[in-house]
Structures are given as C-alpha cells and as structure tokens.
Amino acid sequence: MNVADIPEVPAWLADHLRDGGIEELYPPQAEAVEQGVTRGDSLVASIPTASGKTLIAQLAMLSSIERGGTALYIVPLRALASEKREEFEEFERYGLSVGVSTGNYESDGEWLSSCDIVVATSEKVDSLVRNGAPWIEDLSCVVSDEVHLVDDAHRGPTLEVTLAKLRRLNPNLQTVALSATIGNADAIAEWLDANLVDSDWRPIDLRTGVHYGQALHFDDGEKRELPVRGNEKPTAAIVRDTLDEGGSTLVFVNSRRNAEGAAKRLAGVTSEALTHEEEERLEAVADELREVSDTETSEDLAECVEQGAAFHHAGLASEHRSMVEDAFRDRLVKVIAATPTLAAGVNTPSRRVVVRDWRRYSGDVGGMKPLSVLEVHQMFGRAGRPGLDPYGEALLLANGHDELDELFERYVWADPEAVRSKLAAEPALRTHVLATVASGFAGSRSELLDFLDRTLYATQTDEPGRLERVTDDVVAYLVANEFLERGEGDSLEATSLGHTVSRLYLDPMSAAEIIDGMRGATDATAMGLYHLVCRTPDMYQLYLRSGDREEYTMLAYEREAEFLGAMPSEFEDGRFEDWLSALKTARMLEDWASEVDEERIAERYGVGPGDVRGKVDTAEWLLGAAERLAGELDTGLAPAVREARVRVQHGVKKELMDLAGVRGVGRKRARRLFDAGIEDRADLREADKSVVLGALRGRRRTAETVLENAGREDPDMDGVEADADAAPDPDPADEEREVEDQASLGDF
C-alpha cells in the first residue's frame, strides 16, 4: 500500500513519511489499515520487532486525533516513555502537542488535558484514573505497547485492570495492542474485542540457530564455520566474527555479575577493532559516565566503554543505561553484555544477538530455571536493524551435541507460550479491588465481580469460582483494615482512609503496616521511619548475605527502641529474617541521609548506583505517603516523617535540608556551602559572592545558576574572585566526577 493511499489520516502524513524514506507500507502495516486501524477499529498487532509496530500505533493515534480525539500511548518502562516522546515530538511541527507523565502518583495530570498525545506508564495511567483525571474520559484511542507483559506477575495486573477501566470509561475507545512475541494473540484480541494482525514478516531476514563446536547451526539446516581460537570463549569468537563483518553484538547473560564480567572480557576483542576517531569519542562518553556517580561500578563501566564494550543491568543509574544505549545505537559501543531486562523495550537492535545463558536463578525453584520461549524470542527480536544491517542473526550456545538438539527443540523451533493473566494473585487484587471501589467503578460486591468479569483473567480461567473466592478474601482484609466498609445488602464503600490509600497508589498492605506502626507513637527517629517503610511490600529489600544475620541481629537489639512496632522473636525465622532485611535496607538509607559517599554505600551493601537511587526514590515516595497518612490519622508524627523524607530525598543531614533543596545544589555542594558559613537559602541570597564562588570550587556558571535558583536578584559573577578561605579541601575524585546538576536523583 502506498502511503498516499492510507485513509482517514492527516493530509500532511504522506509527505512526512516520504521525507523519512517511507513510500510503501510493510505488509503487516497494510494489513492493519485494511483491518480498520485508521477508521477507529480496535486491533491487536502481533508482529516481529522492526516490522513497523510503531507506525501502526501512529496511524491509529493520528487518525483518531484527526477526528477530534485524544490518544494515549502506554509503555511498560520509563525509559521507553522518553524514547517514544522523542519519536512523537516530530509531529509537533504539524501543530500537535505531546505530553509525557511517569511520576507523581498523587497527581491528576491536569496539564495533560491539552495534549493530543500522552505517553505514560501503565502505573501512571492507573494512578490518573484513581485520582479522577477528567480528561481520561475524553480519550478516543489507547495504544498498549508490549502487551504481552500482562503475563508479568508484577506489572501485568496493573496493565490488565487499567485497560479494562479505560474501556469501561470510554465505550467507543479504540484499543491498539502491540507485541512482538505472543503465543495466543487471538485470545488477547477476543478479550479486547479487536481485529487481529498476526504476522511473522520482517523487513530483513532473521536467522536463528545455535553455535556448537566450531560452527553455526541454523534453523534452515545450514551450517557455517565460526572457529573458536585456542582458549577463546565462543562468545568472544562470535563477537570477533561480527566485528569483522562491521556489525555489533548484544550478549544476554543471567546476572549482573556475569554482565560485568563478560563486558570486561569482550572489551579485549572490541578494542582491537576501534579507529582512532572512535577511541576519542568513546573516551568522551567514558568521561560522562564517570560523572554520573563516584562508584566502582561507574568506573568499571567507563573503562569498558573506552574499549568499545559495555554492560547493562538494573544496578546501573538510569543515566548510565541511557548513555550506553545511545553509544550502541551510534555504533561506537560494539558489544553490550546485558541481563534480560534490556530485551523488554528499549530500541537497541544489533547485527547479532547471543543468548549466552538460557537458565537463570529462580527463588521459586531454589536453583537454575530455563528461560521461557517468550523471553528468548524477545531477545532474538533485537537482531537486525533495517537500513543498517543486511540481516540479523540470533544464536544460543551449546556445550554438547545433546544440548544442541535440546536448544533447537526448546527455543529455536518452539512457539512462544500463551500469555496468561496474573490478576487472581492476592497481592495484585488487594490494590485493584480497593481502587475499583474507591474510584467508583463498583459500589457493591456484585458490581465488583461484574467489573472483574471484564478482565483477561475472567476470559481465561478454567477454575470456576476462584476469582470470586480470592476477591471475597481481599474484601474481608480491606474491611478489617478500615479501607472499605460494608453497607446494606452487598454494598461496598471506600472509607476516607481507603480513598487516601488508593490515591497514594500504595499497596493496602503497605498502608496497613505504616498505619499500624505510627498509631500510638508520639515521636519517631529517621531510622525508625526508614525501617517502617522498608518493611512494606512496596519496598524491595536488600538481601541478607552470608554473615549479615549476626551483624543485623546485634544492630536490631541496639536500635530496638527506635522501631515503630514490636520486633518479632528470633525464633520466628521468616518474620525475623524479613525484619533484618528491612533493617539492612533502612541502614543504607540512613547512611545516604548521613552524607556517606555513594561509593562507600555501594561497597558496604554490595549494590550498584542504580540500586541506591532506586531505594532512595522508593523511600521518598513511601515517606511522602506516610506523611499524608500521619496527617489524616492526626498522630503528630507528620513533622518527623517530613524531615526523614526530605533528608533521604537529598541525602543530607538535618542542617542541610534547606540548602540542598535549592535546585543545582545537592548534597555535596550543600555541605561545602554550609562549611563556608552559608547555612540556608536565605543566607545564600545575601552571601558574599566571593564566598559562594570559593565554596563551589570557582565554577562561575554553577555559582550563577545556584544563586538564581535561590532567588538572588543579581546572580552575575563577572569580576568576582573566589575566596580561597571558603574553598573546600581539594578532592581530585570529586573534582573529576562531580555532576553539574546534583539537585535530583530523578523523578519518581
């Protein structure tokens, strides 16, 4: 289909597509048009990565906007939201407006009401519905990217319930669901009352196979020699061969440690293939990576990148991950060793994909467990970039002939598993039952069950009565904790507390833990509050390593008076272990709020900078919720909770709270200014400029920005000389790595 023949889209679209080199639609895109995607018909598109899913979404959204509607694009990850925003902002030249929202779960996002396209995570959309965002009812088109994630135990129920609520609010809503790997796309289409495009067409050839011995064995029966030299690992041989052909490689491994180890080893291969210009550009990227955080992880990553390799996992700061992805797309970084999380979303295609580890540790089985076919096919789909690569190859590695046969049977020739709803798990239902009642979607048990009957779970379950039984158990829990109350007949109503918990986007069990801990307390220390929020299901606690139990048991008894709530007995193994894990996590937060260096924290707790910042963000959110609950319960703890929240937000002791809140200051600069005699933002507005400049290491632009953000009328630093007495003691590491804007760890 020629782009000029696409019906019911804006008049400018054909020329826009031609300017981007698109004259004809890909076959799956043409089929989507024939199935009515530009006429407002709902559609499930199950087509391979790089086969044009995003354009199908754009056709749906733009045609809907052309008819006077508003479009919502739901993504599973924040990083994907940023990527999609950049893609969609190209439409702003035609008068459309694009908004992105991924944080602040208490907001109704009123500013988004003026946008034509809104990009948001499923959690954010769920929170917008809970907070009564009126513009949600005006949506005409919703796109759900990576819809196969309804199968994910953590994210899936939220996506599932959110789609059900949006369709209930907007009976004529066009729903477009996208996925590259879905074993039962017809079932998803039936649930969403949608047409189906199910295709395996790709714009460039993708060959899948297994490396064994000295050869590649492909799915079509072809064998090709790919020798492994001497003590060389098969992965290194494949990367070297790919580099010889001018391509890049993604290597998937099963743990963070393995990702870092593989990248360090493969750097020896990639470094030999770099040009002088690439070495200079990579050195600049490495310098930027070092500025993100002063941790060993940051330094290790920078050293790998200087040699053309990188690792990618959740322990990295988001800035680390973004820079690595950009350098890989620019073909500066030649290989990324990554955990499977990279397969879920962000656009990082490569010539070859190597699934080195097809098993990973699972706590459910207490050992190594094979990856699902769906996960492996998601990884396979990253191979081959249209316009850049002549083909893509995805490879598994076999250690023996029997394993060669097993990998072909298990993954290469296998179809992805069917996507199954995870909604009936009690933790998921706790949250969504409360929100469904609190936001007015159900006012009785029968209405609640009727709403849940619209979910994917209801269409898939082969256990009659299970959803009803679990729902009744959840309702009983919510009533017992005063979040819901029963009325006449089977009526249900959210209490004032229940409404607050729903709007705060808390797991009701987290709210119950926080409320129980604060009730009856007249005062609280920061440690007590950190430990309280670390005990909740919404906080992923740090693991207790070998030897930790004894250390944290001693600490628990030393700090017992600070805990909000009774400490369990040592003989209650499970509960006591959880208590200690929460204590370890709380002590990490206490270190952060006591201005301990990030590198020391990472070393002490065995975590990466991404883990530190993730825990800090989560603690800030949970403490903000605790502050609201303290106010509602009138416990008198709200000031103490606020202090703990602000300290953990900025990573500072109490005396720096005001200074660190000035944008552009942050924890390290706040301490330098304080040591120079500037104790708060009022002092900063009146301080001698030479003292400010001295405390900020003579950085004029930084000093001007800080003074302007503090509200100083004359922030200009022209002609000002730094006061040497105000200058901090020299610290080469700080000087080299200090980030220009330390004001925030990122939006939560």
pLDDT for 747: 33
**pLDDT surpasses 80 at 263:** yes
pTM: 0.88
**pLDDT surpasses 90 at 727:** no
According to DSSP, the β-strands at 174-179 and 141-144 are: parallel
pLDDT band at 106 (very low <50, low <70, confident <90, very high): low
pLDDT tens profile 59-78: 999 999 999 999 999 998 88
**What is the share, in percent, of the chain residues with pLDDT greater than 70?**
95
**What is the share, in percent, of the chain residues with pLDDT greater than 90?**
72
Instruction: Please list, in sequence order, all residues whose beta carbon lies within 8 angstroms of the beta carbon of residue 76, skipping any fewer than 6 positions away.
Output: 121, 122, 145, 146, 149, 155, 159, 344, 345
**pLDDT surpasses 90 at 17:** yes
**pLDDT surpasses 80 at 734:** no
pLDDT tens profile 122-181: 999 999 999 888 899 999 999 999 999 999 888 899 999 999 999 999 999 999 999 987
Averaged pLDDT, 718-731 = 81
**pLDDT surpasses 50 at 712:** yes
* Phi, psi (deg, nearest 5) at residue 693: -65, -40
Do the Cβ atoms of 7 and 38 come closer than 8 Å? yes
How many other β-carbons are positioned within 10 Å of the β-carbon of residue 712? 18
DSSP E strand stretches across 521-600: none
Residue written as token pair 């009515």: 36
Token pair belonging to 347: 């656009």
**pLDDT surpasses 90 at 51:** no
**Residue 113 to residue 121: CA distance in whole angstroms:** 17
pLDDT for 56: 97
Among 183, 181, 196, 124, which Cα is nearest to 345's? 181
**Residue 55 to residue 20: CA distance in whole angstroms:** 12
Reported as type and span, the H/E element at residue 367 is strand 367-370
Among 600, 614, 598, which Cα is nearest to 742's? 598
Do the Cβ atoms of 659 and 680 come closer than 8 Å? yes
pLDDT for 366: 78
Of the listed ranges 211-225, 353-367, 605-619, 720-734, the least confidently predicted one is 720-734
pLDDT band at 744 (very low <50, low <70, confident <90, very high): very low
Averaged pLDDT, 473-494 = 96
Exposed (0-12), middle (13-18) or buried (19+): which is 292, by Cβ within 10 Å?
buried
pLDDT for 674: 95
Q: Residue count of the chain, please give it.
A: 748
pLDDT tens profile 582-624: 999 999 999 999 999 988 999 999 888 889 999 999 999 999 9
Cα of 49 vs its chain's centroid, Å: 20
Instruction: Please list, in sequence order, all residues whose beta carbon lies within 8 angstroms of the beta carbon of residue 194, skipping any fewer than 6 positions away.
Output: 41, 42, 43, 44, 175, 176, 177, 188
37 versus 385: the higher-pLDDT residue is 37
pLDDT for 649: 96
Of the listed ranges 231-235, 291-295, 598-602, 609-613, the least confidently predicted one is 291-295
**pLDDT surpasses 90 at 362:** no
Do the Cβ atoms of 177 and 147 come closer than 8 Å? yes
Averaged pLDDT, 724-741 = 57
pLDDT tens profile 672-709: 999 999 999 999 999 999 999 999 988 898 999 999 99
Among 484, 423, 483, which Cα is nearest to 453's? 423
Cα angle 401, 343, 129; round to 5: 145
pLDDT for 104: 64
Three-class SS state of 383: strand
pLDDT for 748: 29
Among 443, 400, 246, which Cα is nearest to 331's? 246
**Residue 391 to residue 242: CA distance in whole angstroms:** 12
pLDDT for 344: 59
How many other β-carbons are positioned within 10 Å of the β-carbon of residue 714? 8
Averaged pLDDT, 299-310 = 96
Token pair belonging to 69: 């509607």
pLDDT for 105: 61
Instruction: Please list, in sequence order, all residues whose beta carbon lies within 8 angstroms of the beta carbon of residue 462, skipping any fewer than 6 positions away.
Output: none
Averaged pLDDT, 397-417 = 95
**Residue 44 to residue 144: CA distance in whole angstroms:** 9
* Single-letter amino acid code for the residue at 585: T
Do the Cβ atoms of 380 and 420 come closer than 8 Å? no
Of the listed ranges 118-132, 303-317, 361-375, 437-451, the least confidently predicted one is 361-375
Cα of 527 vs its chain's centroid, Å: 27
Please, what is the average pLDDT of the chain? 91
Per DSSP, the residues of 569-633 read PTTSHHHHHHHHHHHHHHHHHHHHHTT--HHHHHHHHT--HHHHHHHHHHHHHHHHHHHHHHHHH
Instruction: Please list, in sequence order, all residues whose beta carbon lies within 8 angstroms of the beta carbon of residue 40, skipping any fewer than 6 positions away.
Output: 63, 64, 67, 140, 141, 172, 174
Where b means 16+ CB within 10 Å and e means fewer, 534-566 reads bbbebbebbebeeebeeebeebbeebeebbbbe
**pLDDT surpasses 70 at 741:** no
pLDDT tens profile 537-579: 999 999 998 889 999 999 999 999 999 999 999 988 789 999 9
Token pair belonging to 565: 């709530």
Task: Look up residue 181 and give its DSSP letter.
Answer: -
Q: In the Cβ-directed half-sphere of 162, how many Cα atoms lie within 13 Å?
A: 28
Token pair belonging to 695: 């405390």
